[in-house]
């Protein structure tokens, strides 16, 4: 039996105190730069746990729950047609919950090669211009409002 992705996900803006943002490039999609994203593994998985898991899986950055900030911002967007087969039939939209994680400027990044091929640290405005996803770009533009 095929297991479908849950149409509830997180977007995690990883940034430094100087507002440099980590962007990662998707494998198989050259030029598709994004922040860390990922879907819940189970319907009851807390979004904070999803965020922590995805950050570790995609970047190798291990951070405690206390270091994540839940922005209490959700974006609903239409799932790109090319990726709809990952979801149950008839699922057309995903709800994305936004978090951030502030890390030191010299934090090492270890990509998951099956998911991402490259990374870069960019000033947040430049990173917003580079993002493929409109909701990701919008989140990056909000970064100054959510920095402590």
Q: What's CA 59's distance to the chain center, in Å?
A: 11
The mean per-residue pLDDT over the stretch 84-88 comes to 96
* Percentage of residues of the chain with pLDDT beyond 70: 99
Tens digit of each residue's pLDDT (9 = 90 or more) over 37-75: 999 999 999 999 999 999 999 999 999 999 999 999 999
Domains of the chain (ranges, CATH numbers): 8-146 (3.90.79.10)
Q: How far apart are CA 132 and CA 77, in angstroms?
A: 14
pLDDT value of residue 101: 98
Position 1 pLDDT exceeds 90: no
Tens digit of each residue's pLDDT (9 = 90 or more) over 110-130: 999 999 999 999 999 999 999
- The dihedrals phi and psi of 38, each to the nearest 5 degrees, come to 175, 155
Position 19 pLDDT exceeds 70: yes
Whether residue 7 contacts residue 95, with contact meaning beta carbons closer than 8 Å, is answered with yes
The mean per-residue pLDDT over the stretch 28-40 comes to 93
């Amino acid at each position: 039996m095929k297991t479908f992705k849950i149409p509830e996900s997180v977007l995690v803006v990883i940034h430094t105190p100087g507002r440099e943002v980590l962007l990662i490039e998707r494998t198989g999609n050259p030029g598709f730069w994004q922040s860390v994203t990922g879907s819940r593994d189970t319907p009851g998985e807390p979004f904070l746990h999803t965020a922590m898991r995805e950050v570790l899986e995609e970047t190798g950055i291990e951070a405690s729950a206390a270091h994540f900030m839940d922005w209490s911002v959700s974006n609903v967007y239409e799932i790109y047609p090319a990726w709809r087969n990952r979801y149950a039939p008839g699922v057309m939209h995903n709800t994305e919950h936004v978090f951030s994680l502030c890390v030191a400027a010299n934090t090492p990044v270890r990509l998951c090669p099956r998911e991402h091929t490259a990374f870069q640290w960019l000033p947040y405005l430049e990173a917003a211009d580079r993002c493929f996803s409109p909701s990701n770009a919008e989140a990056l533009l909000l970064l100054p409002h959510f920095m402590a």
